[in-house]
Each structure stands twice: as structure tokens, then as C-alpha cells.
């Protein structure tokens, strides 16, 4: 089993420190090296790997400093490697990677960017989704079509319901308000809103959430057809 530490970076990004059961370390999406270094020092650790979900700067800007400081190996989506500074190795859809004794599976999820990857740890039932699936939402379609994103979200939805979702940004409350405009009578949404507001008031991140809860409340996962999904995505852009 892996252990995950949430590291707030930049304005509303999350990087994640992962420790494998045998002590191998990785950081997901270091948009800034400083807070990651602090988190490592607090726990007395060094860094073995960097995992980028996609090429955007708010997920990769810390690569270079962390690689220089720790000699960490930078793993990036294969299709975006040429756009990710300091990347050492490209990973592709379905590829298995051993983080120490813990198996990680790469799931290609185009839509937000053309080659975005989610990183899945089956035994720990943990998924890092970057800007593909947010709690209560999904990423903007910068490089992909609605059909690609719909397909990508379907791949995520097929994972076990008790999978824990760790996403790239703290957007949950804003996105939740959007979901309420689509499903104002969904009792699970009102319940979740109260719960997430409480967490934020206590200074806690809303991540992680279970895939089951997302399926009950995130309208982008609840869209029954591509047409419905496309309409939600369009409405969200103007929200």
C-alpha cells in the first residue's frame, strides 16, 4: 500500500507525495518545488521519482529544481514528453510501472490535453487524475474533443467504486455550485456541499473523495450521453 501526503502548491494546485510500502518516494505534479522540498524535509525523505499527469506548467514547473536537488527521475506522459522540461521517461496507456513494491498503472485520458495520463495504484485503490477528473467536475478541453473527454471519464468510471480520487486542483466548492444548477434536487449534492464547506473552513483539502461519491454527485460523470456531457461542459465554460 502507498501512503499519500497532500501538498498545496501555487494558488489552488495540489501536488502529492507518495511513499511506497518499501520506502520509494514520488511526487505527482510538482507545480512548484518549494512546498515539495518542505514536505520531504518535514518527513526526512528524499525524492526518487516525479510523475507528471500532463504538460501544463502548474503541474511541471517544479520538475527541474527537484531533479537537480534529488536526482529524481521524471516520468511523463509519452505523448507529451517533448513538452515537459527535464522528462526522462515517457509512459503510455496501460503501461505498468513498479514504484518499489507497489504497482502503478497508466491510464491515458485525453481531453484536457492530448496525451494526459492518470496514475492508478490498484492495490491501494488510489487514482491521481490531474486536470482530467476534478472532484465535482472535469478539466477544460484545451486539446481534446468532448468525445475524447467523455471516453476518458468512462475509463475512470469503470474503476472500483471505492477508488480514492486525488485531483490537480482545489476547485470542489465552485464546481459543486455548478453541479447544483444542473441537479438542484439531488439530495446527495446538498449533503456533500455542507460536508465540503466544513472541510474547507477547517483548512482541510477536499481531496480525496471516493469514485462512488463522485458518481452520485459529479454531473460530468452522471451524464448519460455524449450530447448531455457536451452540454454540461459548454454550460460550465460560461458559469
Task: Give the residue numbers marked as catalytic.
Answer: 54, 56, 58-59, 112, 131, 169
Report the C-alpha gap between 219 and 94 in whole angstroms.
Answer: 27
Identity of the residue, 61 or 75, whose beta carbon is nearer to Fe ion in the bound complex: 61
By CB under 5 A, which span of 106-114, 131-139, 181-189, 216-224 interacts with Fe ion? 131-139
Binding mask 156-175 for Fe ion (x = CB under 5 A): ------------x-------
- End-to-end CA distance of the chain: give it in Å, rounded: 39
The helix/strand/coil state of 184 is coil
Give burial (CB, 10 Å; 0-12/13-18/19+) of 23.
Answer: exposed
**CB-CB contact of 60 with 29 (8 Å):** yes
Report the C-alpha gap between 99 and 2 in whole angstroms.
Answer: 9
131 touches Fe ion (CB under 5 A): yes
Report the C-alpha gap between 130 and 123 in whole angstroms.
Answer: 20
CB of 169 to Zn ion, least distance (A): 8
214 binds, among Zn ion, Fe ion, none (CB under 5 to 8 A by kind): none
137 binds, among Zn ion, Fe ion, none (CB under 5 to 8 A by kind): none
Report the C-alpha gap between 190 and 173 in whole angstroms.
Answer: 11
CB of 111 to Fe ion, least distance (A): 13
CB of 133 to Zn ion, least distance (A): 12
29 touches Fe ion (CB under 5 A): no
CA neighbours closer than 13 Å in the CB half-sphere of residue 155: 22
Identity of the residue, 112 or 193, whose beta carbon is nearer to Zn ion in the bound complex: 112
Q: How many residues bind Fe ion, per CB under 5 A?
A: 3
Identity of the residue, 125 or 140, whose beta carbon is nearer to Fe ion in the bound complex: 140
Q: Which of 32, 48, 58, 102 binds Fe ion (CB under 5 A)?
A: 58
**CB-CB contact of 71 with 56 (8 Å):** no
* Residues at the interface with Zn ion (CB under 5 A): 56, 131
Residue 180's contacts (CB-CB under 8 Å, 6 or more residues apart) are 186, 189, 190, 193
Identity of the residue, 156 or 189, whose beta carbon is nearer to Zn ion in the bound complex: 156
By CB under 5 A, which span of 33-41, 51-59, 193-201, 222-230 interacts with Fe ion? 51-59
Say how many C-beta atoms besides its own lie within 10 A of residue 228's C-beta: 15
29 binds, among Fe ion, Zn ion, none (CB under 5 to 8 A by kind): none
Identity of the residue, 153 or 180, whose beta carbon is nearer to Fe ion in the bound complex: 153
Residues making contact with Fe ion (CB under 5 A): 58, 131, 168
Amino acid at each position: 500500500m502507498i501512503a499519500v501526503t497532500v501538498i498545496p502548491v501555487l494558488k489552488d494546485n495540489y501536488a502529492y507525495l507518495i511513499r511506497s510500502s518499501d520506502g520509494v518516494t514520488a511526487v505527482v505534479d510538482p507545480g512548484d518545488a518549494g512546498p515539495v522540498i518542505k514536505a520531504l524535509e518535514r518527513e526526512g525523505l528524499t525524492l526518487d521519482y516525479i510523475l507528471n499527469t500532463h504538460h501544463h506548467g502548474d503541474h511541471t514547473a517544479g520538475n527541474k529544481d527537484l531533479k537537480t536537488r534529488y536526482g529524481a527521475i521524471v516520468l511523463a506522459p509519452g505523448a507529451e514528453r517533448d513538452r515537459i522540461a527535464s522528462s526522462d521517461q515517457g509512459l503510455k496507456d496501460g503501461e505498468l510501472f513498479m514504484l518499489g513494491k507497489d504497482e502503478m498503472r497508466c491510464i491515458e485520458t485525453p481531453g484536457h490535453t492530448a496525451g494526459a495520463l492518470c496514475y492508478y495504484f490498484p492495490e491501494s485503490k488510489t487514482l491521481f487524475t490531474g486536470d482530467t477528473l476534478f472532484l465535482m467536475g472535469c478539466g477544460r478541453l484545451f486539446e481534446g474533443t468532448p468525445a475524447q473527454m467523455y471516453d476518458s471519464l468512462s475509463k475512470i468510471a469503470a474503476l472500483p467504486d471505492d477508488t480514492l480520487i486525488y485531483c490537480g486542483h482545489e476547485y470542489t466548492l465552485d464546481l459543486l455550485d455548478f453541479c447544483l444548477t444542473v441537479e438542484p434536487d439531488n439530495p446527495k449534492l446538498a449533503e456533500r456541499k455542507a460536508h465540503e464547506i466544513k472541510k474547507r473552513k477547517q483548512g482541510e483539502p477536499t481531496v480525496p473523495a471516493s469514485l462512488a461519491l463522485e458518481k452520485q454527485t459529479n454531473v460530468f460523470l452522471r451524464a448519460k450521453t455524449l450530447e448531455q456531457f457536451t452540454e454540461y461542459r459548454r454550460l460550465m465554460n460560461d458559469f
